[in-house]
A and B are shown apart, each in its own frame.
Chain A
Amino acid sequence: MMSGKKTLYDKIWDEHLISEEADGTSLIYVDRHLVHEVTSPQAFEGLRLAGRNVRAPEKTIAVPDHNVPTTVDRTEGISNKESRIQVEALDKNAKEFGIIYYPVNDIRQGIVHIIGPELGWTLPGMTIVCGDSHTATHGAFGSLAHGIGTSEVEHVLATQTLIQKKSKNMKVEVFGKLGNGVTAKDVTLTIIGETGTAGGTGHVIEYMGSVIEDLSVEGRMTVCNMAIEGGARAGLVAPDQKTFDYLKGRPHVPKGSNWEMALQSWKELFSDEGAFFDKFIHINGGKIAPVVTWGTSPEDVLPINSIVPHPGDFDQQKSLAVKRSLDYMGLNPGQKLEDVEINTVFIGSCTNGRIEDLREVARIMEGRKVKDGLRAMVVPGSGLVREQAEEEGIAQRLQEAGFEWRLAGCSMCLAMNPDQLSPKERCASTSNRNFEGRQGRGGRTHLMSPAMAAAAAVTGYLTDVRNLM
């Protein structure tokens, strides 16, 4: 560490460090603050009570996403009173404090972690925070991005800084080449299966290796998105030519000489050869299979051709949790995962609600239909993703195959809006959390890639997508 060689995280940290106390408590500068309706009302209220302003409204971007209905009738207003009040509070706060705002009926509205990159608010080397744990998504651009609580939201609004202690460095190297039918989602779930949900606690993860380099920028977002599910507050990928190509020309990306200057600076964003990592794991990408989760923690993940494990296969503490989750999930030890029948398919979320994900679903569904009796919905991550999918004909093809085609929002990923599972309803979901009750009280979530969810939509069972390719 003393060698002067720095990790990518060290470099971004140092660039944003305003002051540091003897015990390591530091004040860091925040470049972008993303805001949504659920974790911000109390923060704005705090500002109001203290008579404070938003220090940098031009660096503060707000959008409603968690509560908004995804049915077309939402243009007529939100019928759930509490949700409506929360969205109206954001409308009012955005106006009052003069921050950048994409209201519910703006074509650019969408899930906060989808629209940030899409509109070019997310740039390499930045610090980005949001009152949402999936802020880690933006790390795919080599920006230090993580979730914060509402008190911290208020702190950032008031001061454009955050009080932090530096995390440790963790390296996750995925080498080799992915097999057919294996995607970024399988990579990130496999990593969590390997490290456990607390494996990254106290760390910032940098993902690297040939598999990560080969992923599209969107795939990298899927990987970083779930860093938090491995316990890490932030995940990072060093920016490369793919990143720069993705960014160029987006609305809020620098232009002209500023672009050239930014590019020079972004090219320095990598971990120095020999930089120190406190922890590292290596995974052979060639051995990663399409996976699904079977339990109620994202670490409960197995290749699709496995069987449901037995509580006795785990240590005492985990065994207790496994017993509880098998009860909750209605699964029996020894049962083949491919024999598990599903009721619902959800395509969307900040993990897998981008255009590439919808294209993948459309590719698997080509010439196929959603199995009779299944509920299947596609919720694009943003209005612009939805529009693009319509232009590419994906929307029409998916609707013809039997999917509902919704408006943008977080939707059934956390079921704060009307898109919810009923008790015991079993869902093949492209979202990020399979916690008890996450998609609706008593609902049963199996996390998987968009391709795997499409395969499940076709057969009505958890299915190895490779059999459909």
Chain B
Amino acid sequence: MEKFSKIKSVAAPLPLINIDTDMIIPKQFLKTIKRSGLGKNLFDEMRYDECGKELENFVLNKKAYRNTNILVAGDNFGCGSSREHAPWALVDFGIKVVISTSFADIFFNNCFKNGILPIELEKDKRDTLMLDAEKGSNAILMVDLFDQEITRPDGSIIQFEVDSFRKHCLLNGLDDIELTMKKIKKINDFEQTYSTKMPWL
């Protein structure tokens, strides 16, 4: 996994609540056996009409936001299915940071496995950033994971929380399986004790 560095970008505002993973990447694109190439279909049914033509009003089709790395979203972002195609599509498009008041658990987890930083903020802070995001190319946000800070266009700073283990993995681009493999003896010992205790499993 790529190391997560500082992100400096305009932020796209998506104030709708409960944006689900079916919206992020509709099911017809889940038939792939690859991880890459889903960016063009990110938010497909909101982004294009039935003929595949871009819908002008959708935020990512507007000039200021076409190359954004940051989304500021309504509550409960990423609810619904467990499809990792949702973060794959986001990352393929170029999104590295999603800011909301809350995320669905599985989506939240999936983000970290793909180098995306989901940031949970209190409502007033998220709303402030939503207003910044609406200013388009006039408003650049900077997200610094190491210091856990978002710098607003006026220079003021909003701090955020992140789980220390996940922060460490993101900053260093670490692979979970590698890390777990280092505990293989513990797993073996556990399995042995466990199968003695529960022989029917």
> A12 to nearest B CB, angstroms?
12
B138 in contact (CB, < 8 A): no
Q: Which of A42, A254, A259, A317 contacts B17 (CB 8 A)?
A: A317
Inter-chain CA distance A423–B51, complex, in Å, is 13
Nearest B residue (CB) for A158: B177
Binding-face segment, B5-13, B18-26, B58-66, B142-150: B18-26
Alpha-carbon gap, A83 to B82, bound state (A): 19
| Interfacial chain B residues near A181, Cβ < 8 Å | none
Shortest distance between the CB of A349 and any CB in chain B (Å):
13
Say yes or no: B84 contacts A437, CB within 8 Å: no
Task: A259 to B191: give the CA distance in the assembly, Å.
Answer: 20
* Interface flag for A468 (CB, 8 Å): no
Contact of A197 among B22, B79, B114, B198 (CB under 8 A): B79
Contact with B along A117-151 (1 / 0, CB 8 A): 00000010010000111000000000000111111
Chain A's nearest CB lies how many Å from the CB of B171? Answer: 15
Within 8 A of B (CB), among A297-326: 297, 299, 317-318, 320-321, 324
In angstroms, Cα B110 to Cα A233, docked, is 13
Q: Nearest chain A CB to B164's CB is how many angstroms away?
A: 5
Q: Does B105 contact A (CB under 8 A)?
A: yes
Q: How many residues of A contact B (CB 8 A)?
A: 75
Residues of A with C-beta under 8 A to B186: 18-19, 27
Residues of A within 8 A of B190 (CB): 18, 29
Are B31 and A151 neighbours in the complex by a CB distance under 8 Å?
A: no
Whether B183 sits at the interface, judged by CB under 8 Å, is: yes
Judge if A281 is at the interface, Cβ distance under 8 Å: no
Q: Say if the beta carbon of A1 comes within 8 Å of chain B.
A: no
Cβ–Cβ < 8 Å partners of A67 in chain B: 31
A39 touches B16 (CB 8 A): no
Is A178 in the interface zone, CB < 8 Å from B? no
- B109 interface residue (CB < 8 Å to A): yes
Smallest CB–CB gap between B196 and chain A, Å?
12
CB atoms of B183 and A45 under 8 A apart: no
CB-contact partner of B31 in A21, A83, A317, A433, under 8 A: A83
Complex: how many Å from CA A433 to CA B194?
A: 38
Q: Does B176 contact A (CB under 8 A)?
A: yes
Q: Which of A132, A147, A151, A262 is within 8 Å of B114, CB to CB?
A: A151
Query: B30 contacts A416, CB within 8 Å?
Result: yes
Given contact pairs A133-B106, A198-B102, A18 touches B187 in the complex (Cβ within 8 A): yes
Assess whether B17 is in contact with A86, with CB atoms less than 8 Å apart: no
Interface-forming stretch among A159-167, A269-277, A336-344?
A: A159-167
A34 to chain B, nearest CB (A): 12
* Cα–Cα distance between A327 and B148 once the two chains are bound (Å): 40
Determine whether the beta carbon of B22 is less than 8 Å from that of A86. no
A152:B113 contact, CB within 8 angstroms: yes
Contact assessment for A231 and B18 in the assembled complex, using a CB-CB cutoff below 8 Å = no
Task: Flag whether B50 is at the interface (Cβ < 8 A).
Answer: yes
* 6 sampled A-B residue pairs with Cβ under 8 A: A27-B183, A29-B190, A45-B33, A83-B31, A201-B76, A317-B15
